[in-house]
Amino acid sequence: MGHGHNHIEVKQEQFVFSTKAKRFSIILMIVGLVFAGIGIFTLGGLDNSHPPESSNVNHETESLTAQHHTKHEQNSGTLVSQTKENHSIGEESHGNEPNEDFGPRMVFRPSEKPASTHIWANLLIVGYFFLMISLASVMWYTIQYVANSGWSVAIKRVPEAMMTFIPIGFIVLMIALYFGKNEIYHWVHYEHLGLKPGEAGYDKILAGKSGFLNTTMLFAFPTVLVSIYYLLMRKLRSLSVQEDSAAKGDASFFKRGIRFSAVYTVLFGFTMSVLVWFVVMSVDAHWYSTIFGVYNFITHWVTSITIIAFIVAYLKKEGYLGVVSNEHMHDLGKFMFAFTVFWAYLWWSQYLLIWYAQIPEEMSYYQLRFEDYKFNFLLNFLVCFVIPFLGLLMRSAKRNRYVLGIIGSIMILGHYHDVWLMVFPGIFGPGMQFGFLELGIFLLFAGIFIFWVFTALSKRGLIATNHPYIEESVNHDVGV
């Protein structure tokens, strides 16, 4: 809260989306398109039908029969528990023989995927990533209201602009789900088979989940949830707009904003895991983690805060947000640092508990990613935790917008790679790489996101001059 400063007059600022900034966003789009084009052009040489050189897990089967191969493997990979009884299969896995110390092994029997699978999978990742960032920015906004926070009022226009990207992210995600569901989710193909108990290829785990995990729910749940989130976001923005034109000292819109913020905070907090289960966790439909939803939230939460800091730093560089001081930047830096540590806590907790328990159906997720994607697995920890932790450890680093910009860029790309690592191994098995197509689609939508958000910023004043706590935010003082 404030420290007794005198009344000051806060002047409005109007952001102008400069030609230079527009050019930068367009260049990002063009470079992204070129890289994506190169990636698509090279897809013709990909063949996922070759035997794996190491073990992999996408889903677990009770037995491996000739009938199962001919029917169920037409559109999805098959995973086999490797035990001493099927040691002949273990011999094909180049050293991943079963041993009692580490538990039963899983061998992936991949089937060939069409080139289009890579496109739909990348669109799913990029749509999901930017949708969740936009939803997390609403969460950031609503938590400030529910917590009765004053310091953040000076930068509230930034998350207000970011949250307007929700429809774009959702549309891209739905396109990927509609056209790529049969290639991305093996349970969708299994659902179409209509197998009964006792028939070859019958999967009791997928059958047991079919009441929830089916194509109707795949589209219904995300559509309903995101529509509710979007309507609440629109209401919050409407109240903010009305507050701008209200009489000075009128706190009615602010109080209504607190109520609607509380609704969004509770609703999103309890339901966003459902969106995560459908879109990401069901890629590995036989595997589940009770903290997977929380882990996904924190991945996008810290990314959203990083983007807020990134944009605020840019606006300061361009001479805007004169009311924002080093104290505000320091707070954003502290949030980036703190939630980076929390991300690492969840990342390590999920891995450590599964490793320690050695339950085959749980181990499968990490067996694939640690053994067949070890470079990506370790790189993920490096760019999402080690570099941000060391880079933001010093107090001076958290207050320096250039340091925040550099570290923030690494974090954003790192957490995008984090989502890629959640999705791609489960679809394709071993052998995939983060290449031109992945980087190109990310850069393309990063350019679109920048253009969209900066356009939204230019449509309203940068300072919430009628907010009840604007003076407290301007006089932000931590007492040191």
12-36 per-position pLDDT tens digit: 889 999 999 999 999 999 999 999 9
Q: In the prediction, which pLDDT does 145 show?
A: 94
| pLDDT of 96 higher than 80 | no
Q: In the prediction, which pLDDT does 286 show?
A: 86
pLDDT tens-place string over residues 148-180: 888 999 999 999 999 999 999 999 999 999 999
| pLDDT of 95 higher than 70 | no
Straight-line distance from the first to the last Cα atom of the chain, in angstroms, rounded to the nearest whole number: 14
Q: In the prediction, which pLDDT does 205 show?
A: 85
Tokens 């001059």 map to which residue?
465
Find residue 107's DSSP bridge partners.
80
Instruction: Report the candidate in 122, 160, 115 with the shortest Cα–Cα distance to residue 36.
Output: 122
As a whole number of angstroms, the distance between CA 13 and CA 138 comes to 23
pLDDT tens-place string over residues 281-338: 999 888 888 889 999 999 999 999 999 999 999 999 999 998 888 899 999 999 999 9
Q: In the prediction, which pLDDT does 109 show?
A: 59
480 against 451, higher pLDDT = 451
3-state secondary structure of 325: coil
Phi-psi region of 35 (alpha: psi -120 to 50; beta: other; left: phi over 0): alpha
Instruction: Report the candidate in 111, 102, 57, 128 with the shortest Cα–Cα distance to residue 279.
Output: 128
Using the 8-state DSSP alphabet, how is residue 91 labeled?
G
pLDDT tens-place string over residues 244-287: 888 887 888 999 999 999 999 999 999 999 999 999 999 988 88
Phi, psi of 136 (to 5 degrees): -70, -30
| pLDDT of 86 higher than 70 | no
- Side chain identity at residue 241, one-letter code: V
Phi, psi of 49 (to 5 degrees): -90, -5
Lowest mean pLDDT among 57-71, 136-150, 173-187, 434-448: 57-71
Question: Which of 396-400's residues contact partners 24+ apart within 8 Å by CB, and which partners?
Answer: 397/333, 398/329, 398/330, 398/332, 398/333, 398/334, 398/336, 398/337, 399/326, 399/329, 399/330, 399/333, 400/329
| pLDDT of 138 higher than 90 | yes
Q: Record the tokens describing residue 467, joined without a space.
A: 């907010």
Residue 136 contacts residue 303 (beta carbons within 8 Å): yes
Q: In the prediction, which pLDDT does 101 show?
A: 46
CB atoms inside a 10 Å sphere around CB 204 = 9
Q: Record the tokens describing residue 472, joined without a space.
A: 């407290």
160 against 369, higher pLDDT = 160
CB atoms inside a 10 Å sphere around CB 295 = 20
Lowest mean pLDDT among 107-121, 182-196, 269-283, 411-425: 107-121
Mean pLDDT for the stretch of residues 102-113? 60
As a whole number of angstroms, the distance between CA 42 and CA 353 comes to 39
Most confident segment among 44-53, 154-163, 180-189: 154-163
Lowest mean pLDDT among 372-376, 382-386, 440-444: 372-376
Instruction: Report the candidate in 270, 271, 308, 389 with the shortest Cα–Cα distance to residue 144.
Output: 308
Which residues, 6+ apart, have CB-to-CB distance to 42 below 8 Å?
Answer: 435, 436, 437
As a whole number of angstroms, the distance between CA 216 and CA 232 comes to 24
Q: In the prediction, which pLDDT does 53 show?
A: 36
Lowest mean pLDDT among 79-93, 95-109, 164-178, 412-426: 79-93
What band does 56 get if pLDDT is binned at 50, 70 and 90?
Answer: very low
Q: Where are the domains of the chain?
A: 19-56+115-474
Find residue 195's DSSP bridge partners.
none
Q: In the prediction, which pLDDT does 7 show?
A: 61
Instruction: Report the candidate in 456, 463, 467 with the shortest Cα–Cα distance to residue 166.
Output: 456
Residue 83 contacts residue 98 (beta carbons within 8 Å): yes
3-state secondary structure of 105: strand
Give me the percent of the chain exceeding a pLDDT of 90. Answer: 54
Q: In the prediction, which pLDDT does 478 show?
A: 56
Instruction: Report the candidate in 297, 290, 274, 309 with the shortest Cα–Cα distance to residue 343.
Output: 297
Phi, psi of 446 (to 5 degrees): -65, -40
Q: In the prediction, which pLDDT does 279 show?
A: 93
As a whole number of angstroms, the distance between CA 454 and CA 474 comes to 23
Cα angle 466, 471, 473 (rounded to 5 degrees) comes to 105
Q: What is the mean pLDDT of the chain?
A: 83
